[in-house]
Chains A and B, each alone.
Chain A
Amino acid sequence: MTAYPTDLGAPVRTTCPYCGVGCGVLARPDGTGGVSIQGDPDHPANFGRLCSKGSALGETVGLDGRLLHPVLQGRRASWDEALGAAASGLQDVLDRHGPDAVAFYLSGQLLTEDYYVANKLIKGFIGSPHVDTNSRLCMSSSVAGHKRAFGSDTVPGCYEDLDEADLLILVGSNAAWCHPILFRRMLDNRTRRGAKIIVVDPRRSATGDEADLFLPVTPGMDTALFCGLLVHLVETDALDRAYLDAHTSDFEAALSRSRAIAPDLATTARLTGLPKSDVASFFTLFRNTGRVVTCYSQGVNQSAQGTDKVGAIINCHLATGRIGRPGMGPFSLTGQPNAMGGREVGGLANMLAAHMGFAPPDIDRVRRFWDASRMAETEGLKAVALFDAIDTGRIKALWVMATNPLVSMPDADRVARALAKLELLIVSDNVASSDTVARGADILFPAAAWGEKDGTVTNSERRISRQRAFLPLPGEARPDWWIVSEVAREMGFAAAFPYRSAAEIFREHAALTAFENEGARDLDLGALVALDQDGYDALAPVQWPVPAGGAEARRLFAEGGFFTLDGRARLVPPEPPKLAASLCDTYPFWLNTGRVRDHWHTMTRTGKSPRLGSHRPVPFVEVNPADAARLGLSAGDLARVSTTSGSTVLEVEIHSGQAPGSLFVPIHWSRDTSSDGRIGPLVHGFVDPHSGQPETKATPAAIAPEPMRLRGFVLSRGPVRLAEGTWWARAAIAGGTGTLFAAHGTAREIAEWAPDLFPGADLAEYVDARADVYRCAAFSEGRFKGVLFVGPADGRPQWEAAKLLLARPDEVEDRRVALSGKPPGGQPTGPLVCACFGVGLSAIREAIASGGATTPEAIGVALRAGTNCGSCLPELRRIVVQEAVA
């Protein structure tokens, strides 16, 4: 199956499993299950750089929390049993209800080969089109936007365009945190070449902090901005008429609609809520700068009009011919490591395979190629509709792979209720306690994780890179492609699923992309069809298309050549912009969702890293200062955030970058890592009519103080469960786990937790009952086991010092110090700012105060902070300014 490196000293070239940048990683396993991680200097995505998350990958490969054997109806089972049960279960549903009752729900975390096999099984042999993926929640509006405009899901440009542009426009993208390595390339470009950066986002994120021009657009009004821009380009005669004439169609319709939406500067400014002067600057910069790249991300995609937003952006690039040429083009920054690969094999309900759709010739071609016994012949249900169909009983069997819909789906509590109605739920995952796993599946398959599995991923610039295994498969874990293939064989499809390696699957996938292609389809891997095992193992990062006998294409469409029937791009007339829902007196805030710097999705991996856990240890809601003052909320308070579909309690962060009337919450926390951090249940399920992508960034919401009497924390060697009714969130810390909590009741009642939290340990205790303070430190045979601290909510116990103790086990000589909340000699580091080098706020303040470092660059020289991935540079800049004022 898979060959593992035997020379432990040699680095394995692989690819980071986080965002869509797809950075190359050098992994050096230490031979005892650990690994040291470096950026791959030869990888063209990152040239050796890694962000905070990538740098900490070595802290995430531990086996704690892993699902290491199959589980059948809640009990451990053999592979034979579990595979047999899955096959017969699927067959049974198929026999009784037909193929339409079977669905797969996949993930942008899967490798292309995993995806390919799953897609082939359901669409070609089970005969159901209902295979969708968490990519639907991530970038399906870009897919739909690309297909409408280009006739294919093609990203026209490449990363070098970010180096070579003179104007970089980021729309709905917090690249500084979510695509840090690409953002570093943009900042480097600005430093080296003077590129301007414009950020369009309702929220001034760390990316907005860095902008030359920040445009806090009214939520949902991006389309108006780009319609206004198109009109402006027409009126100032800035169009590329030759390109428009030669390579596009429908310009007049698009312009006419754009005029109707945003006829002039004043209307554009009014609709977008921006100052006229800023809109004018934006128009002028775009008009006068040839080399413009417009990057967009979830702020554009996660919208009920996301496809139109993409269209409005692409319109401006097509109209100026700024596409497919160095430093020019629309650029979708993909969220997941292999959303692109999933799209390529057809792992979405509205695509068939290899960038082919459900047109009869495509269906026929794929049927013949696969020798499929039962082809799906219509588009299937997209994620939101798919879970609706489970709820209404249409779908009876679901196989979830590598994703956690109970956390990530909109209206996630409804999803939970729907899953309970299934006749058969199969989950393949590598963690034992994700919310979806924990609610109980009929069959659990233990999947291989990053570092253990082998295959390919495609990044945001169409570059295919290998993920290579450098760790042995733990327990009974297996690669996803193997699990799916085995089930397929059990179901009687052995001939079509003969795979013994990822390389075989890749070859078949490549062959399908080239099959009867002749340049008709953008995705063509013809040059890779003959790759043998050695060639696959040695495969260097390569950008598609790579047709047989042809060179790889860096950029497309500079000379037209679109994949529409007439070869012309379409300019799209967008619908008038508006959000799917409206605010009302009960729900007067817009609830926005997104990522934090140091976490990834539901934290199954980043949650294991102490470095990554300390930047933002609890789920929070960001509130504008004026709103906070009006509502009586202070930083660190707890607040209840409610929508029509759900409600939860989060810690308040006050941030001037948050527009008045808007709230921001991170998406990362789950039931496994928090009591109340799961945001999915709050988000409404309105979807884009073209892409089916839900509008997860604008749900009407209410916020109100949720005072809890007590706040506290538990530091322990392993995870602990706190009493029901307690608000809590858990983070990895050096030496163990930190659990921050809030509770009603009294410190005396919390004190009763101690013996259960630290069974059998000696407890040293500090009690100030009148002040409602209780602390205990646990020791066992002289070894420090952890602490429980609780106190009044308004004077929250601080865990920085206690964390130092847990990080240095067995060195607690003065047991009293463990109760003091004070560091054992030396000051605590304060909240982590630079995750790459572990530099805390205290050290930075000290460096500034000593006069030695007055700029982020000087801080970098003194402390190394900000010199790796640079994602903390905006924060460093802000600290420098704050300290200068103070």
Chain B
Amino acid sequence: MAARERLVVVGNGMVSLRFLERLAEHAPGRYDVTVIGKEASPAYNRVLLSALLAGDVDLAGCVLRDESWYRRSRIRLLTGRTATAIHPAARTVSVDGESIPFDRLVLATGSDPIMLPRPGMDLPGVMAFRDLAHVDTMRALRGSDARAVVIGGGLLGLEAAYGLARLGVDTTLLHVMDRLMERQLDARAARLVRAAMERKGVRILLEANTEAVEGFGRVQAVRLADGTVIPADLVVVAVGVRPRVDLARAAGLAIGRGVQVDDGLQTSRSGIHAIGECAEHRGQVYGLVEPGYEQADILARRLGGRDETYAGSTVATSLKVSGLPVFSAGEIADQAEGEPILLSDPASGIYRKLLLRDGRLVGSLLIGDVAESTWYRELIRTGEPVGPFRHDLMFGRPTTLAEAEPQRLVA
């Protein structure tokens, strides 16, 4: 019996797990798989941290696979272990001094939260919102009269702030831009989201440039560039993530903002792949789980012998704040070139924008009513011409009946 190829996966997050699941499907038994994970527990659903914080799911709901799954799948799982070096020429990975050989290597090292380069970021009580421990810290404030400041008005910051407010914590959200979620929302949607967040008890300061976090031995306040001082017992920083590329860089792989991969999801070295938030594809680094899933699927199929390539993902975001459905995909900026179609119903908290260009859907922004979001995403991805049903687009898939029997004109 020929020796199986040795496949080593560095990282044990959601994308890594998705890759392993798909690999088991497309190449069962073909690889001798080892997974190296830094966290003590197996992969959990990080996307659900906000829901966990808000109390919409419990911890069990966040667990993706327990260790027995890895055993049954004959995957060697090394938890609480850190890969310290890759040796491309030698085809080995150093893990806490141990050298693990590989024939193929998959980097799924994810990203790190960015902490602002401001004084006081290292004070106790300042943290990111990234793992189960952060959730525990925040949940511990329930019932106290603690005051929390969330820095960052993006998706994660809003979810953190909402979760804190829901715990009864006095919460202020600071955002440096003039509107929330500026990359996913246009001005009007941002106003709606802001109003909805305020109704949910989050105080919001825009154009709030954090100058320093202050405190003696522990965080006590956030000071803004305009001199405003906001008392704080907890500061959550959610201003973005940075791909984890140290290992790859040290190994001499080509790095841009992330580990650069081609359409085959291969890095600059043959047999070494990167997927998920650590990867940079066609200049694009994705800070969301779904593109990572798509990459994982394609890579698993490729390693199963299929000749598929990855052409990039349509980014879609959904805000997980209950009672405030928000979906954003493609181009949604006010300045974006194209033909916007708008639906608004302020009394119902609904605002929907679809952006068309050259007869195709290129962007979709849905507030309050996210029905059809998967359809829009698909239309954006496929670039299917939508002209024939332009005026049905906002209201759902045209039924064949409606298409087959055009009504008589007005009269």
Contacts and interface: CB of A to CB of B under 8 A. Distances in A.
Interface of A: 616-618, 620, 635-636, 651, 653, 711, 713, 740, 762-771, 773, 779, 791, 796-800, 815-817, 819-822, 827-828, 830-831, 841-842, 845
Given A766-B394, A842-B407, 11 more contacts: A740-B410, A765-B342, A766-B343, A767-B342, A768-B340, A771-B391, A816-B350, A816-B394, A819-B343, A819-B395, A827-B405
Nearest to B398: A822
Contacts of A830: 407-408
B356 to A, nearest CB: 8
Closest 7 CB pairs of A and B: A764-B345, A762-B347, A820-B395, A770-B339, A768-B341, A767-B342, A796-B410
A773 B410 contact: no
Nearest to B344: A765
B390 interface: yes
Given A762-B346, A765-B344, A765-B345, A635 B409 contact: yes
A618 B342 contact: no
Nearest to B406: A798
B365 to A, nearest CB: 14
Contacts of A771: 339, 341, 390-391
Contacts of A740: 410-411
B144 interface: no
Contacts of B350: 764, 815-816
A567 B46 CA distance: 110
A799 B395 CA distance: 16
A468 B398 CA distance: 54
B402 interface: yes
Nearest to A779: B347
Contact of B405 (A651, A766, A773, A842): A842
B342 A797 contact: no
Interface in B273-313: none
Interface in B314-355: 339-348, 350
B390 A816 contact: no
Contacts of A796: 409-410
A767 to B, nearest CB: 4
Nearest to A799: B410
A828 B343 contact: no
B22 to A, nearest CB: 37
A820 B350 CA distance: 15
Contacts of A797: 410
Contacts of A766: 341-343, 394
Nearest to A761: B347
Contacts of B395: 816-817, 819-822
A713 B410 contact: yes
23 contacts: A618-B410, A636-B411, A651-B411, A711-B410, A762-B345, A764-B347, A765-B343, A767-B340, A767-B343, A768-B342, A771-B341, A771-B390, A779-B347, A797-B410, A816-B343, A820-B395, A820-B396, A822-B392, A822-B402, A827-B405, A830-B408, A831-B411, A845-B405
Nearest to A615: B411
Interface of B: 339-348, 350, 356, 369, 390-392, 394-396, 401-402, 405, 407-411
Contacts of A769: 339-340
Contacts of A651: 411
Nearest to A845: B405
Given A769-B340, A779-B347, A800 B407 contact: yes
A762 B350 CA distance: 12
Contacts of B341: 766-768, 771
* Interface SS majority for chain A: mixed
B52 to A, nearest CB: 32
Contacts of A828: 407
Contacts of A765: 342-345
Contacts of B390: 768, 771
A763 B342 CA distance: 13
A462 B121 CA distance: 104
A827 B342 contact: no
A617 B342 CA distance: 30
Contacts of B409: 635-636, 796, 798
Contacts of B348: 764, 815
A768 B387 CA distance: 13
B411 A821 contact: no
A815 to B, nearest CB: 6
A822 B392 CA distance: 9
Contacts of A799: 410
Contact of A773 (B344, B347, B391, B411): B391
A768 B347 contact: no
A544 B324 CA distance: 78
A711 B369 CA distance: 29
B209 to A, nearest CB: 35
A329 B346 CA distance: 70
A820 B410 contact: no
Contacts of A831: 408, 411
Contacts of B392: 820, 822
Contacts of B347: 762, 764, 779
A764 B369 CA distance: 13
Contacts of A817: 395
A770 B410 CA distance: 21
A845 B407 CA distance: 12
A828 B346 CA distance: 28
A839 to B, nearest CB: 15
B391 A821 contact: yes
Contacts of B411: 616-618, 620, 636, 651, 653, 740, 831
B260 to A, nearest CB: 39
A856 B369 CA distance: 46
Nearest to A823: B402
A616 B410 CA distance: 10
Contacts of B356: 770
A798 B407 contact: yes
Contacts of A762: 345-347
Nearest to A653: B411
Q: Which of A764, A799, A845 has the most CB of B within 10 A?
A: A764
Contacts of B346: 762-763
A740 B395 CA distance: 23
A831 B410 CA distance: 9
Contact of A827 (B344, B391, B401): B401
A269 B396 CA distance: 61
A183 B340 CA distance: 56
A3 to B, nearest CB: 45
A775 to B, nearest CB: 9
Contact of B339 (A713, A768, A800): A768
Nearest to B393: A768
Nearest to A819: B343
A156 to B, nearest CB: 42
A816 B342 CA distance: 12
Nearest to B353: A767
Nearest to A762: B347
A713 B409 CA distance: 12
A819 B339 CA distance: 19
Contacts of A617: 410-411
A854 B341 CA distance: 44
A755 to B, nearest CB: 13
Contact of A636 (B401, B402, B407, B410): B410
Contacts of B401: 827
Nearest to B407: A798
B369 A816 contact: yes
A800 B408 CA distance: 9
